[in-house]
Amino acid sequence: MSFDTLGLSAELLRAVADQGYSEPTPVQQQAIPVVLQGRDMLAGAQTGTGKTAGFTLPLLQRLNTTPWQGKGRRPVRALILTPTRELAAQVGESVATYGRYLPLTSAVIFGGVKINPQIQKLQRGVDILVATPGRLLDHVSQKTLDLSRVEILVLDEADRMLDMGFIRDIRRILALLPHRRQNLLFSATYNNEIRTLADTLLESPAQIEVARRNTPTELVSQVVHPVDRERKRELLSFMVGSQNWRQVLVFTRTKHGANRLSQQLERDGISSAAIHGNKSQGARTRALADFKRGEVRVLVATDIAARGLDIDQLPHVVNYELPNVPEDYVHRIGRTGRAGNAGQAVSLVCVDEHKLLGDIERLLRRDLPKAVIQGYEPDPGIRAEAIQGRGNTRQGARPGARNGSGQQRSRRAAAGAAAAPRAGVSAGRGQQKNQAGPGRGRATSGKPRRRTAPSGLA
């Protein structure tokens, strides 16, 4: 199947061709016709399958087919909500890339940067707005944004938004939107919270799922290396050096741990940078750019980077520490093996993390292969210790703490809020080039991403 058969306009097909793509990915094949029909949709697909292009292309076509006929400033007609700044930046670039031959305008707004340039852009009129929930509500409170004309709402990485505690912000935003609109809910995984949200938001939705729930791509080889907790850094440095890894994304559990590991790797002679929520937007952007250019071999990140991070042909992901939430393992290793490229996911597991590993294997419904590295055999006499930060809060964040845009709350609180009735919202509504289609994207700011053809991310 080619993009020509999906009903897209000549302008959009030209923009897709400019990026070197000719065949859509499976999620794009299914999603694009549904969105063009104006139907609500619940779509789930593992990361790297091109979801962003799956909604960006038909969204652009729908708005262009029925242009705004009113007088004065253009209203926001399509709203795309994302959980993180980096994902917002990447989606915004996809909109700009594929809409380059259309007379539509777009803007991206997120926290961590000055608000005045965003206000100025909104005052000029915007057809498509990509935003994080917290900064969007900041604009609403300052009366610099009107959402009463929104025709299409997209919740991208909706499961991550629930994990990060954005459900209350989402409810506030939904109450500001017109009752009659098209709703598109995209998620890397289908969990019970997502289905609860979908039941209250979507009206007779088309359901798309191109991979089994919580299944990492088959192109990612996975291996567990048992090792003592105090020798993890030593083993990581050994593997990077002895195997000549040139581009490695490493996940830690906490921000402090990311900083410490990055500094230790630098002392080992391995160029490294850390990105997490406490870093300024400028620092995160520079670290990512250096990583993409190859000036930094190891990028150390917390789970805030697990979504929306899109780096072309990223070969290695290392779980330096296993995540507290097993679904985050899938999101982490989904940063490699994207758009048809093979990748390797390595987990360094100490005795403290055996339960976490068991949770992950139950989620995956299979045991992960284990391989002890000679010289780094774990000491059987070491006893397990409690893992700091294991509990309801994620990434060691304080419940209710602001992080860029939005509150971080526990998964349990988010799930409970998702199930609660929402005032003002009715129960019915409220790639590889030449083969895999536009499945990748490029971020222009922030935590994790890189040069590729901007398109469907995560």
DSSP 200-259: HH-SS-EEEESS-TT---TTEEEEEEE--GGGHHHHHHHHHHHTT-S-EEEE-SSHHHHH
Let me know whether 210 and 96 are in one domain: yes
Report whether 335 contacts 47 (CB < 8 A). Answer: yes
Let me know whether 330 and 408 are in one domain: no
Residue numbers of the domain that contains 99:
3-214+403-419
Gap between the Cα atoms of 226 and 215, Å rounded = 23
Tell me, yes or no, whether 175 lies in a domain: yes
Q: Which is more confident, 60 or 396? A: 60
pTM: 0.67
- At 307, list the tokens: 């979504």
DSSP assignment of 53-97 equals HHHHHHHHHHHHHS----SSSPPP-EEEE-SSHHHHHHHHHHHHH
**What is the CATH number for 176?**
3.40.50.300
Tell me, yes or no, whether 450 lies in a domain: no
Q: What is the pLDDT of residues 113-129, one digit of tens each?
A: 899 999 999 999 999 99
Is residue 424 very low, low, confident or very high in pLDDT (cuts 50, 70, 90)? Answer: very low
Amino acid, res. 11: E
Let me know whether 134 and 252 are in one domain: no
Let me know whether 187 and 331 are in one domain: no
Q: What is the pLDDT of residues 149-172, one digit of tens each?
A: 999 999 998 888 887 789 899 999
Let me know whether 272 and 413 are in one domain: no
Residues 283-307 have a mean pLDDT of 84
Q: Which is more confident, 178 or 304? A: 178
